[in-house]
């Protein structure tokens, strides 16, 4: 096991690297030529423009040395913006997301204080490990202030049991308050929201085929009959996946075209050339500008043909549509009720906001959807459990003693104290980190196959998968496998009673590993996040080769966004580690608290200055967050029960059994109280908004407002002619819309009315 010295070295290294990242960030962000990397959000909002300094140098490098002195100024600045303004600036999703970190702080700061005040003295005076020093189990200094130092069957365990209850109560109380708070924030947010197309619309899927009517007629008739006073219009969904691919390909070619054109302009003496084969490396040499002009022309024709065919071919219409209603009340009713006796057709759900729609998945039949989910569940199972193999291998190698046993010839190198500490401190964490980096994209692809229809639900679903993976592989995998390898021989020669005791003692022994992990993944990882190395490099590359106009520069920015699918499950691991180790090894807690505080600071800065969310779901992920924190809490309670039952306190199980039951009940209770705020839109709120709107804008032409709200993105910026009638209506001063005027792609043909 790693000793205090190892931990200290590791902590020092990680703190230094974190500090290095922060200093680098502080310097880089002050350079005007990096401004678009570190403040893209302000550019996107139109508040910040490109620097227009007096001299050319000042445009690129900041020479005002006074600013460097206050290089940590961004930290208080990040905390400065009040929350309502933050919600206005960055959206509710982001504001709620950083509250997860705040929740971590709120939960663990008092727990840490309490644990150090009560449990550390109790543990420290246990004096068991010294006495057992001669025995087989290895131990470190940290274990002395952990539960391992309490003698077998001691009454001191009652302190741990009591504290476990206190910790659980505090966690539940904080969770309850936070759930209530977030639900209220969401309701306020929705109530304050201005008119949006999704308030009036419902996504209808699995429209059954009709021999006599086209899809659009069928939809119109169905809703005219069944929602007679509320139905307004609908927009069918086109299968534009192929068209989207062509558009994407054209865009890539255009980038190359611009690149070669820029090259030619800088050096007009030589026309740039390229090769027609694989990646411009093989094949015949041709004039690059001509080649790309030609290719783009061909694709443009292809695109136009495909566009034509999508719009005119009835087979391109998918059995799905966005149906809009005259009032929000009508949309709420339609989204929350069942339409027909067959629950596999005419499925209605509250429409996601237009930019949140995941277009590819709108037309999956019911049975296929079920099959896909089954297959993906099985796949997830195998994915989760096959990752165990390499992790187990690396984990077992990552132990100095094991390495020396397996590769005796490495002994002289490794026994060098500094190298030994380095290996001990870094290797296990890094190995895990690499594994985890591969995963999110696979999980997202799996979620897409499962057929979810909005980006937000894809994110939430991927997060669940990732959490499961982290729980099994990172947490349980690290606890069980590492130990199994270390003490396998010991186990095999023991009776079953002794065996369970040794397993129980595993959790405290793994504390040092997890401390290392927190420092590598949590501290240094978060500090690296603020530096944004990858966007920094890509921006400068693009800037050098592609950017010609101010608009191009706008495009070259990659503000990125909060990646809920990967970030949230990782935070959950910290919640779980904190809860598991709070009564067992309090020494781990300060590391968790520092992580939450530091991460809160960094991410608050990022959402203010950098990230640009792709969609706004109104914090609809909070029930998942809450549920997973509760799950971590229950796991920690069960693990404590298992641990104590092996320490000679048979009554402890009885004293602890109520804890997971009460916690689960608490979860159910909170779910009943708050979850519906995240799932359903209440009729009363809809009615209030409707009434208000009728009073304020009695002449609103909703049909025009909704006309093209739900259009596949490839149709949204094309050059088709807008019908004159719509122009008229839109120019009519009576009809105010908050929507920026868009060119309209399709005629009114598929937007019926009754």
Residue 41's closest CA among 102, 88, 73, 100?
Answer: 88
CA distances from residue 65 to 30, 34, 68, 70 in whole angstroms, order as listed: 10, 17, 5, 9
Least separation in angstroms between residue 227's CB and its own copies is 8
For residue 231 the two structure tokens come to 């139905």
Per the rule left: phi > 0, alpha: psi between -120 and 50, beta: everything else, 740 is: beta
Least separation in angstroms between residue 224's CB and its own copies is 11
Q: Are strands 347-350 and 285-287 parallel, antiparallel or unpaired?
A: unpaired
Residue 420 to residue 430: CA distance in whole angstroms = 15
Residue 151's closest CA among 528, 493, 647?
Answer: 647
Our CA angle for 552, 557, 560, nearest 5°, is: 145
Residue 190 or 607 having the CB closest to its own copies: 190
**Interface with its own copies by CB under 8 A: which residues?**
187, 225-227, 229, 332-333, 336-341, 343-344, 366, 370, 374, 377-378, 496, 661-662, 665, 668-669, 672-677, 680-685, 687
How distant is the alpha carbon of residue 333 from its chain centre? 31
- As to burial, measured by CB atoms within 10 angstroms (0-12 exposed, 13-18 middle, 19+ buried), residue 264 is middle
> What 3-state DSSP class applies to 313?
coil
Least separation in angstroms between residue 404's CB and its own copies is 33
CB 523 within 8 A of CB 18: yes
CA distances from residue 45 to 38, 354, 554 in whole angstroms, order as listed: 14, 20, 11
Least separation in angstroms between residue 334's CB and its own copies is 8
Residue 455 to residue 55: CA distance in whole angstroms = 45
Residue 349 or 685 having the CB closest to its own copies: 685
Residue 691 or 732 having the CB closest to its own copies: 691
Least separation in angstroms between residue 534's CB and its own copies is 40
> Which residue do the tokens 């296929």 mark?
368
CB 119 within 8 A of CB 586: yes
Least separation in angstroms between residue 677's CB and its own copies is 6
Q: 10 Å Cβ neighbour count for 667? A: 19
Least separation in angstroms between residue 702's CB and its own copies is 19
Residue 276 or 337 having the CB closest to its own copies: 337
Residue 381 or 720 having the CB closest to its own copies: 381
Least separation in angstroms between residue 490's CB and its own copies is 17
Least separation in angstroms between residue 676's CB and its own copies is 4
Residue 393 or 669 having the CB closest to its own copies: 669
Residue 33 or 664 having the CB closest to its own copies: 664
> What 3-state DSSP class applies to 319?
strand
Radius of gyration for the chain, computed over Cα atoms and rounded to the nearest angstrom: 30
Residue 276 or 370 having the CB closest to its own copies: 370
Residue 439 to residue 466: CA distance in whole angstroms = 8
Least separation in angstroms between residue 592's CB and its own copies is 31
Beta bridge partners of 187: none
CB 615 within 8 A of CB 356: yes
Residue 355 or 680 having the CB closest to its own copies: 680
For residue 637 the two structure tokens come to 């309670």
Least separation in angstroms between residue 329's CB and its own copies is 8
Residue 394 or 638 having the CB closest to its own copies: 638
Beta strands in 465-515 (DSSP E): none
Least separation in angstroms between residue 131's CB and its own copies is 31
Residue 662 or 726 having the CB closest to its own copies: 662
Residue 386 or 534 having the CB closest to its own copies: 386
Supply the DSSP string of 346-383, one letter for each residue: SEEEEPPPGGGB-GGGTT--HHHHHHHHHHHHHHHHHH
For residue 443 the two structure tokens come to 């999980």
């Amino acid at each position: 096991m790693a000793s205090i010295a190892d931990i200290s070295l590791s902590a020092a290294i990680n703190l230094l690297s974190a500090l290095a990242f922060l200093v680098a960030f502080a310097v880089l962000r002050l350079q005007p030529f990096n401004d678009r990397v570190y403040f893209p959000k302000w550019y996107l909002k139109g508040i910040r423009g490109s620097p227009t300094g007096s001299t050319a140098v000042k445009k690129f490098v900041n020479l005002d040395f006074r600013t460097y002195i206050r290089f940590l100024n961004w930290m208080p600045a990040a905390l400065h913006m009040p929350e309502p303004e933050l919600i206005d600036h960055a959206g509710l999703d982001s504001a709620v997301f950083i509250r997860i970190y705040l929740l971590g702080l709120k939960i663990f700061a008092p727990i840490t204080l309490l644990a150090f005040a009560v449990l550390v003295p109790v543990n420290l005076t246990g004096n068991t490990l010294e006495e057992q020093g001669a025995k087989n189990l290895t131990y470190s200094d940290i274990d002395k202030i952990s539960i391992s130092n309490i003698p077998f069957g001691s009454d001191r365990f009652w302190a741990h049991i009591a504290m476990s209850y206190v910790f659980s109560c505090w966690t539940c109380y904080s969770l309850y308050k936070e759930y209530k708070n977030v639900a209220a924030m969401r309701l306020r947010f929705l109530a304050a929201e201005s008119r949006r197309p999704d308030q009036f619309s419902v996504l209808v899927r699995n429209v059954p085929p009709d021999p006599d009517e086209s899809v659009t007629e069928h939809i119109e008739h169905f809703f005219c009959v069944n929602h007679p006073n509320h139905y307004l219009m609908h927009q069918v969904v086109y299968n534009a996946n192929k068209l989207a691919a062509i558009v994407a390909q054209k865009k890539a070619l255009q980038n190359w075209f611009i690149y070669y054109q820029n090259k030619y302009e800088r050096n007009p003496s030589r026309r740039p050339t390229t090769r027609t084969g694989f990646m411009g490396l093989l094949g015949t040499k041709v004039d690059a500008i001509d080649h790309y002009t030609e290719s783009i022309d061909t694709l443009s024709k292809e695109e136009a043909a495909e566009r034509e065919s999508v719009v005119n071919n009835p087979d391109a219409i998918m059995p799905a549509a966005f149906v809009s209603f005259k009032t929000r009340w009508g949309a709420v009713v339609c989204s929350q009720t069942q339409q027909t006796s067959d629950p596999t057709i005419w499925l209605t759900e509250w429409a996601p906001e237009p930019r949140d729609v995941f277009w590819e998945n709108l037309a999956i039949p019911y049975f296929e959807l079920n099959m896909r989910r089954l297959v993906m569940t099985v796949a997830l199972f195998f994915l989760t459990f096959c990752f165990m193999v390499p992790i187990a291998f690396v984990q077992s190698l990552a132990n100095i003693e094991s390495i020396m046993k397996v590769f005796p010839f490495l002994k002289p190198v490794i026994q060098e104290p500094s190298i030994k500490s380095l290996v001990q401190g870094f290797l296990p964490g890094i190995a895990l980190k690499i594994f985890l980096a591969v995963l999110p994209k696979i999980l997202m692809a799996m979620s897409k196959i499962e057929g979810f229809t909005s980006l937000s639900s894809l994110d939430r679903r991927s997060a669940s998968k990732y959490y499961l993976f982290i729980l099994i592989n990172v947490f349980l995998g690290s606890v069980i496998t590492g130990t199994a390898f270390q003490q396998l021989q010991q186990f095999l020669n023991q009776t079953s009673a002794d065996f369970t005791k040794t397993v129980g003692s595993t959790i405290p022994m793994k504390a040092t590993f997890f401390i290392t992990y927190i420092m590598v993944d949590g501290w240094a990882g978060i500090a690296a996040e603020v530096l944004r190395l990858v966007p920094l490099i890509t921006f400068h590359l693009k800037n050098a080769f592609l950017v010609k106009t101010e608009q191009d520069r706008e495009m070259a920015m990659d503000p990125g966004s909060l990646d809920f699918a990967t970030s949230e499950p990782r935070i959950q691991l910290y919640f779980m580690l904190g809860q598991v180790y709070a009564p067992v090894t309090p020494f781990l807690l300060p590391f968790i608290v520092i992580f939450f505080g530091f991460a809160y600071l960094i991410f608050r800065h990022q959402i203010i200055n950098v990230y640009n969310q792709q969609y706004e779901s109104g914090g609809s992920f909070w029930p998942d967050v809450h549920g997973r924190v509760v799950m971590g809490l229950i796991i920690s309670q069960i693990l404590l029960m298992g641990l104590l039952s092996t320490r000679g306190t048979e009554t402890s199980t009885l004293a602890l059994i109520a804890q997971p039951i009460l916690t689960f009940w608490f979860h159910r209770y909170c779910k009943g109280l708050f979850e519906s705020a995240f799932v359903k839109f209440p009729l009363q709120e809809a009615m209030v908004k409707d009434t208000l709107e009728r009073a304020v804008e009695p002449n609103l032409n909703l049909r025009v407002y909704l006309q093209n709200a739900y259009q596949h993105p490839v149709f949204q910026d094309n050059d088709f002619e807008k019908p004159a009638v719509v122009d008229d209506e839109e120019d009519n001063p009576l009809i105010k819309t908050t929507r920026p005027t868009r060119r309209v792609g399709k005629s009114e043909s598929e937007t019926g009315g009754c």
